[in-house]
Each structure stands twice: as C-alpha cells, then as structure tokens.
C-alpha cells in the first residue's frame, strides 16, 4: 500500500470515530435521559481522545511526508490532512479530553440554568470551558501561525479571520443603522394581516414539515426528524439526524426550523461519495454550511413565489384560512427582538455581531465570565436599542459557548451573505427558478447547488467556492440588495 492510500485508510478510521461521536451527541440532545449526562460526557471525551491519538500518531506524519497525490482532489485531501495533523500534534490529548468533558458537563448544567434564567448556576462551569478553550487557542495559534481567536474560527471556517469578519460586520452595522428604522416605518404604514390563532397540532406540523422537507429533496430513507430543545442537523451523510421543537400556538417556528435544517441535510447528502470519510469529502466549513440552510429557508422558502404555494397547503393541513399576507407578516416581519433564533434576517446579524465581539473579549480575558450578563445586555442595547429582561432571554439563550463552541458564531452571518450571493447567481443561471418555487419545486435550485457547492466538498474554501459559483469572492452588497428589495421597497 502506498503512502497516500495508507493515509486514506487512517483518516477513514478517524472519521468513523467522529461519526460515532456525532450520533452520541444527537442522542444526548434528542433521546438520552438526564441521568445519562455524566456517562455520555465520558464516552465522548474518550472518543475524542482516541481520534486525537490516531490523528497525532507519528505514522501519520511519516505517511504525509511520503505521500505522492496524483490528482487535484488528492492534493487537496493531503493539504487538509496535514493541517489536521498539525492541530492534533500541537494539542495534548489530556487537554482535548478535558475540553470535551468540560463542555458536556457545562451544557448539562446550562439546560436547567436556561430554564430557570439562572446564570450564576452555570457561571463556574462556563469559566472552566472558557479557560480550557483559551489554553487550546493559544497552542493552536502558535502551531498555525494565527492569532488565538483566528485559530478557533478556522476550526469552523478556514480562510476567514477575525479581521475579515470585523470589516464585513462593521459595514453591515452601518447598513442596519439606516435600513432598520426605514424598514420599520414602511412596515408600520402597511395593513397588518394576521394568521388565525392556534392551536396548530404538533402531529399536523410534523407531517407537513416532513412533506415539505421531502419536496425540497431530503431523502428520509437516510434521515430522521426528532425533537430537541435546540433545532439542529447532525449525524452522517447517510444517516442524517434533524431535530426541531414545536409550539402549538405558532406553526412557523418548527416549520422554518425543519426547512433550515433540511438545507444542511441536503448539503451532507450530496457531498462527493467518492471521498466519503476523507477531509476533502467533508463540507467546506460552517459558513458554507449555513449558506446552504439559509438559501433554502430564507432565500427560497420565504420568497413570494414559494409562500404563494405554501399558503393553500397550510390552509388545507390546519383547516384554518392562511393567507399570503398573513404568512408574509409572520415570516418576513422586521422586529427588534431578544432571541437570535427567532430574529428576522435583517436584525439577525446584529445578534451575531454581539456574540462575535463578546466571545473575543472572553477569550482574551478582557471580559470576565461573571460580567457576561451585563456586557451582553449593554451590547444588545447598543446594537438594537433593546435590553433583555432576564438572562434566559440574554446570555443563556444559546447552547454554543456552554458546549465549548467559541469561534462558531461568525459563520451564521457569513453564511447568510453567501446565501444571498449564491441565490443571485442561481437566478441568473436559471431565469425560471421562481416559477419552480411557485409550484413547490426545488429541483432547479438543488441541482444547481449540488453542482456548484455540495459536490465540491472541501476541495475549495469559502471564498473560492463563491468565486467559482458567482464570479467573485464574498461581496456583502448582494445581501444588502436582497434585504433592500424585500424590506425597503
């Protein structure tokens, strides 16, 4: 066996361990009883330690030095393998396991603390997560010649630094300052059409969510839909696990959540099968991943064309008159709000910007964990002019930091901007795209994305994928133009 083939075999073994971790993580959120949290944390820490041991082994370094890739895809694969090996050899296994263990323990405490709105209950556990993350970031930064926070960001989306994101977000902050009051004024001047009051039975919501996800292209022969406290998409490309949460007073939250996660699932299901369980066969990063969920949920599903198709489906399913105007008012209403996952697409980037700046301050030590609630409230007021009434609607609302995912948040808005740019390119390439949406047909869009994004795996980076598909690297003007057309005209 030559060195390259040996590398593929070794990385496939590592990928299997990571797949097992993903499934255990899904189970912890969707099925596991509360009493299993401690044992599950140890299981996941052990798997992370084994993956780290395999990835940092000397024979990986020897095979990388000897490998002679023969194709561009193999060349890209070796480059990604090399970076993964550098990361692994830099970090002690004990630190990797301790970080996973601390994240699982903190997340378990956070679940009850969030319900109670009690930040003090989770403060110490979060402090341990932040301290371990700071230690890891310092080590990785030196190994990769990156600033510590950039090293964390690169775990989720390679090729984008904090300076890149800050420039993009600062530009958007200026856009929002002018656009938000204008959108609110235009909205207030229009007749407000309401949806009929609930109840909207959970069983009907779930059946409709499954129907629409399948229509968008999700293959339920290799996917599940379950419930969890926080909607997500996990699993593997051949065993997708989507979760959502239901509210019988409001069908839109679950429905949009499922369609958002369906965008993630389609990406996973359409990754290049020839390189499955290889770094180059994985998604190109979380900003790219978010672009795929948001191009489905925000760009396609919330378009005039698709909402016109959706209204009669909802009317039939729920036995209530659901009008296009009512849907637009519910799904495309600009409103300053406390909860990120419920925010409209215009104010959503402000929620990301808040977290982006706070997590940098936490990592650097400029912000103490104990001072997080006050800094959160002050930051949100500065950006949106509102202050959360309690920590449940403030710094306790997201799972990410409590689970150790620091550096992830920029991906959400970078993904939203990429989604707008990709949709603009798809519409240029497929002039009848909206005609398809009006029939509930996503095949034109899903086929275009499969060719220009999904099938590329990680052979290209974030900006390279955008440039190949749209003719330019990320240009925030496309997102601003989308918002202007939808909310300011």
Show pLDDT as tens, one digit a residue, over the chain (489 residues).
Answer: 699 999 999 999 999 999 999 999 999 989 999 899 899 989 999 999 999 999 999 999 999 999 999 999 999 999 999 999 999 999 999 999 999 999 999 999 999 999 999 999 999 999 999 999 999 999 999 999 999 999 999 999 999 999 999 999 999 999 999 999 999 999 999 988 999 999 999 999 999 999 999 999 999 999 999 998 778 999 999 999 999 999 999 999 999 999 999 999 999 999 999 999 999 999 999 999 999 999 999 999 999 999 999 999 999 999 999 999 999 999 999 999 999 988 999 999 999 999 999 999 999 999 999 999 999 999 999 999 999 999 999 999 999 999 999 999 999 999 999 999 999 999 999 999 999 999 999 999 999 999 999 999 999 999 999 999 999 999 999 999 999 999 999
DSSP H or E run through 236: strand 232-236
Q: Residue 236: beta bridge partners? A: 239
Q: Residue 225: beta bridge partners? A: 242
12: Cβ contacts below 8 Å, ≥ 6 apart: 277, 278
Residue 482 near residue 181, CB atoms below 8 Å: no
Task: Say how far apart CA 424 and CA 9 lie, in whole Å.
Answer: 40
Token reading at 210: 């499954």
Residue 331 near residue 259, CB atoms below 8 Å: no
Kindly state the greatest CA–CA separation across the chain: 71
Residue 283 near residue 458, CB atoms below 8 Å: yes
pTM of the model: 0.94
Instruction: Say what the pLDDT of residue 273 is.
Output: 96
Instruction: Say what the pLDDT of residue 326 is.
Output: 96
164-175 burial code (b ≥16 CB/10 A, e <16): bbeebbeebeeb
Burial class (CB in 10 A: 0-12, 13-18, 19+), 463: middle
Task: Say how far apart CA 137 and CA 380 lie, in whole Å.
Answer: 26
Q: Residue 235: beta bridge partners? A: 240
Task: Say how far apart CA 489 and CA 483 lie, in whole Å.
Answer: 10
Instruction: Say what the pLDDT of residue 341 is.
Output: 87
Instruction: Say what the pLDDT of residue 29 is.
Output: 87
Closest CA relative to residue 332, chosen from 176, 428, 216, 192: 192
Phi, psi (deg, nearest 5) at residue 21: -65, -40
Instruction: Say what the pLDDT of residue 1 is.
Output: 66
Instruction: Say what the pLDDT of residue 457 is.
Output: 98
Residue keyed to tokens 């275009």: 448
Catalytic residues: 261
Q: Residue 232: beta bridge partners? A: 243
Other C-beta atoms lying within 10 Å of the C-beta of residue 297? 24
Task: Say how far apart CA 365 and CA 122 lie, in whole Å.
Answer: 18
Residue keyed to tokens 């990361």: 87
Torsion sign across C-alpha atoms 268, 49, 160, 350:
positive
CA distances from 272 to 159, 267, 276, 377, 443 (A): 21, 10, 7, 44, 18
Torsion sign across C-alpha atoms 163, 164, 167, 173:
negative
128-147 burial code (b ≥16 CB/10 A, e <16): bbbebbbbbbebbbebeebb
Residue 40 near residue 24, CB atoms below 8 Å: yes
Residue keyed to tokens 């795996």: 457
Instruction: Say what the pLDDT of residue 342 is.
Output: 87
Determine the angle formed by the axes of helices 443-452 and 462-470, rounding to 10 degrees: 120
How many residues does this entry show for the chain?
Answer: 489
């Amino acid at each position: 066996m030559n060195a390259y083939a040996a590398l593929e075999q070794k990385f496939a073994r590592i990928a299997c361990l990571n797949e097992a971790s993903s499934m255990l993580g899904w189970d912890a959120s969707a099925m596991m009883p509360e009493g299993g949290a401690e044992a599950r944390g140890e299981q996941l820490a052990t798997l992370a330690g084994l993956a780290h041991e395999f990835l940092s082994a000397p024979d990986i370094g020897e095979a990388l030095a000897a490998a002679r890739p023969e194709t561009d895809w193999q060349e890209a694969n070796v480059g990604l393998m090399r970076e993964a090996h550098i990361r692994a050899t830099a970090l002690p296994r004990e630190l990797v396991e301790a970080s996973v263990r601390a994240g699982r323990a903190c997340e378990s405490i956070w679940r009850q603390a969030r319900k109670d709105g009690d930040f003090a209950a989770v403060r110490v556990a979060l402090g341990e997560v932040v301290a371990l993350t700071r230690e890891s970031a310092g080590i990785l930064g030196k190994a990769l010649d990156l600033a510590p926070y950039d090293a964390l960001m690169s775990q989720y989306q390679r090729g984008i630094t904090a300076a890149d994101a800050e420039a993009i977000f600062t530009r958007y902050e200026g856009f929002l300052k002018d656009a938000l009051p204008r959108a609110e004024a235009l909205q207030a001047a229009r007749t407000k059409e309401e949806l009929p009051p609930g109840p909207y039975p959970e069983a009907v919501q779930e059946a409709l969510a499954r129907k629409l996800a399948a229509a968008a292209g999700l293959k339920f022969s290799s996917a599940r839909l379950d419930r969890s406290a926080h909607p997500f998409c996990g699993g593997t490309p051949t065993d997708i696990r989507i979760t959502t949460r239901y509210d019988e007073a409001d069908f839109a939250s679950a429905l949009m959540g499922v369609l958002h996660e369906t965008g993630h699932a389609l990406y996973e299901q359409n990754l290049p099968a020839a390189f499955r369980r290889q770094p180059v066969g994985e998604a190109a990063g979380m900003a790219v991943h978010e672009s795929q969920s948001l191009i489905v949920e925000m760009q396609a599903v919330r378009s005039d064309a698709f909402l016109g198709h959706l209204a009669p489906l909802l009317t039939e399913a729920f036995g209530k008159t659901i009008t296009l105007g009512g849907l637009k008012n519910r799904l495309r209403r600009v409103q300053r709000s406390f909860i990120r996952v419920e925010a409209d697409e215009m104010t959503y980037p402000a929620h990301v910007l808040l977290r982006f700046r706070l997590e940098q301050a936490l990592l650097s030590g400029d912000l103490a964990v104990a001072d997080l609630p006050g800094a959160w409230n002050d930051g949100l007021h500065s950006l949106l002019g509102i202050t959360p009434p309690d920590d449940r609607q403030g710094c306790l609302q997201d799972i990410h930091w409590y689970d150790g995912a620091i550096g992830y948040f920029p991906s959400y808005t970078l993904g939203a901007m990429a989604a707008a740019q990709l949709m603009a390119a798809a519409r240029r390439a497929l002039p009848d795209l909206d005609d398809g949406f009006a029939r509930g047909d996503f095949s034109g869009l899903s086929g275009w994305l499969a060719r220009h994004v999904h099938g590329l795996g990680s052979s290209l980076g974030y900006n390279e994928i955008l440039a190949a598909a749209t003719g330019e690297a990320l240009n925030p003007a496309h997102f601003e133009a989308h918002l202007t057309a939808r909310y300011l005209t």
